[in-house]
Amino acid sequence: MKRIVVLGGGMVGGYIARALAGDGRFDVLLCDRDADALEVSRSAAPIRVRKTDLSVDSQVRSCASEADLVIGAVPGAMGFSTVRTVLETGRDVIDISFFPEDPYELDPIAKNLGKTAVVDCGVMPGLGGMLGAWLAGKLDRADSLSIMVGGLPLVRRWPLEYKAPFSPMDVIEEYTRPARFRRDGKLVTRPALSDPEMVDLPGVGTLEAFNTDGLRTLMRNLGIPNMAEKTLRYPGHIEKIRMLRELGFFSQRAIDFRKGSVSPLELTAKLLFRDWKLEKGEQEFTVMRVEVEGVRNGQTIAERADLLDRTDPVTGDSSMARTTGMPAVTIARLLADGTGLPKGIVAPETLASDRNLFLKFLEGISRAGIRIEFSTS
């Protein structure tokens, strides 16, 4: 049996471990410092668990040394160092963390060791980029790429009308990290939450979209002159988050108190974790629209891919956890089936140029109930 170690036992990492264990052909070890989170997954699937602190490099090495393949599902702040450590142990790795560093800085390490690191292998970045590259490949010339994605609770609850299946720190990063996109072939940087627009989506209704820094490796790998990525939330969310940001609630600079000091960011994350936690049985959904406009046979064409996914009615698995975790699960299964991938850093969008591999990937996520609707106009 192929030995797979999953680093990070939160909602997404736990889902990945359970999904792979359900195949019956993988020996899965799930590592995390949260004993309760580990127990949730261990009691639901035939996996081994290990309580360990993945912020400690030696502990990451210890876990990775037992693997044929490692899947990283740690918070974004730990992602880059975790991928580097796993590569240095001589293991292939698939990573879903949204870390701020440039993953291609690790390319020499991966290539020198003859290893593969599939990075940004979540819903976005990840699946959205693959769809964008695939749609662009259907045109003679792609002029623009737009990706909009969001995960939201089915029932809106005041004040923020949002829930997060992963680290609140990673969500806050989306609200504070400057958004990079491309306009007329030039790099443009704008504040996160900027350029809001209302979007009507079938089966969902009206949501608001705003700039976030999700293009990442697409800026390097796709030569489309106009590209943007936006996050979707319920209308009114932007203004509430901007207020928190401008008042300094996301500042990392510690404030001194009589009994010690704390950064506003730490306190805010603690409070939001409580407010954003999905309650047992709470329903949510993931919505994504990827659209490429360009020219085919001399005519202006728009190619579109739409995803609308909901909480699994049988298992209760979060939609955002499934849509974020299943791309990594599917790539792991393809590797187990003997599908060869390039050595070095591999961005998901680069895999869409291989038609057979991409169609197998779509088939894999479809078997999990995640379906993409394609249309042309």
Model confidence at 1, pLDDT cuts 50, 70, 90, reads low
| 135 and 255, same domain (yes or no) | yes
Question: What is the per-residue burial (b if ≥16 Cβ within 10 Å, else e) of 176-199?
Answer: bbebbbbeeeeeeebebbeebeeb
Q: What is the 8-class DSSP label of residue 98?
A: -
Model confidence at 258, pLDDT cuts 50, 70, 90, reads confident
CA dihedral 231, 235, 240, 242 (to 10 degrees): 40
Residue 315 lies in a domain: no
> Distance between CA 293 and CA 303 in Å, rounded?
6
Domain span including residue 343 = 2-123+320-370
| 119 and 133, same domain (yes or no) | no
Provide, rounded to the nearest whole percent, the portion of the chain with pLDDT above 70.
Answer: 99
Supply the pLDDT for residue 248: 95
Judging by DSSP bridges, how do beta strands 26-32 and 48-51 pair with one another?
A: parallel
CATH number of the structural domain spanning residue 44: 3.40.50.720
| 131 and 119, same domain (yes or no) | no
Is pLDDT at 316 greater than 90 in this prediction?
no
321, 318, 331, 341: which is closest to 362 by C-alpha?
331
| 297 and 148, same domain (yes or no) | yes
| 230 and 364, same domain (yes or no) | no
Is pLDDT at 167 greater than 80 in this prediction?
no
| Token pair for 23 | 């195949």
Q: Which of 264, 292, 310 is the last residue of a domain?
A: 310
Q: Give mean pLDDT, residues 265-275.
A: 89
Q: Which of 264, 284, 310 is the last residue of a domain?
A: 310
Query: In sequence order, what are the residues at sequence separation of 6 or more whose Cβ sits closer than 8 angstroms to the Cβ of residue 260?
Result: none
Residue 296 lies in a domain: yes
| 341 and 213, same domain (yes or no) | no
Q: For the chain, what is the domain count? A: 2
Q: Which of 179-193, 267-281, 313-327 has the lowest mean pLDDT?
A: 267-281
CATH number of the structural domain spanning residue 223: 3.30.360.10
228, 372, 376: which is closest to 302 by C-alpha?
376
Task: Assign residue 357 a region (left: φ > 0; alpha: ψ between -120 and 50; beta: otherwise).
Answer: alpha
| 182 and 217, same domain (yes or no) | yes
Contact criterion met (CB below 8 Å) for 326 and 370: yes
| 96 and 186, same domain (yes or no) | no
97, 142, 145, 143: which is closest to 117 by C-alpha?
97
Radius of gyration for the alpha carbons in the chain, expressed in angstroms and rounded: 20
DSSP states of 126-143: BHHHHHHHHHHTTSSEEE
74, 55, 13: which is closest to 38 by C-alpha?
13
Residue 376 lies in a domain: no
Residue 208 lies in a domain: yes
Residue 263 lies in a domain: yes
Q: Give mean pLDDT, residues 348-369.
A: 95
Q: Distances in Å between the alpha carbon of 296 and those of 146, 299, 333?
A: 18, 5, 35
Q: In 22-100, which residue ranges form alpha helices assigned H by DSSP?
A: 35-42, 57-64, 76-88
Provide, rounded to the nearest whole percent, the portion of the chain with pLDDT above 90.
Answer: 88
Q: Give mean pLDDT, residues 61-65.
A: 97
What's this model's pTM, rounded to 2 decimal places? 0.94
| 250 and 143, same domain (yes or no) | yes
> Distance between CA 306 and CA 128 in Å, rounded?
10
Supply the pLDDT for residue 333: 96
Residue 86, helix vs strand vs coil: helix
Contact criterion met (CB below 8 Å) for 264 and 251: yes
Model confidence at 186, pLDDT cuts 50, 70, 90, reads very high
Is pLDDT at 279 greater than 90 in this prediction?
no
* Mean pLDDT estimate for the chain: 95
288, 135, 278: which is closest to 218 by C-alpha?
135
Residue 10 lies in a domain: yes
Max intra-chain CA distance, the chain: 71
| 63 and 159, same domain (yes or no) | no
What pairs with residue 344 in β-bridges?
A: 116
Distance between first and last Cα of the chain? 46
Q: Which of 325-334, 335-344, 346-355 has the lowest mean pLDDT?
A: 335-344
Supply the pLDDT for residue 294: 98
User: pLDDT by residue (tens digit) across 74-126?
Assistant: 999 999 999 999 999 999 999 999 899 999 999 999 999 999 999 999 999 99
Q: In the chain, which residue ranges form alpha helices assigned H by DSSP?
A: 11-21, 35-42, 57-64, 76-88, 107-113, 127-136, 168-176, 218-221, 237-246, 264-276, 319-336, 348-351, 355-367
Query: In sequence order, what are the residues at sequence separation of 6 or more whose Cβ sits closer than 8 angstroms to the Cβ of residue 343?
Result: 110, 111, 114, 115, 116
Residue located via tokens 């040394």: 65
| 199 and 255, same domain (yes or no) | yes
Q: Which of 272, 287, 310 is the last residue of a domain?
A: 310
Return the number of other C-beta atoms located less than 10 Å from residue 257's C-beta.
8
Residue 377 lies in a domain: no
| 27 and 78, same domain (yes or no) | yes
User: pLDDT by residue (tens digit) across 11-27?
Assistant: 999 999 999 999 989 99
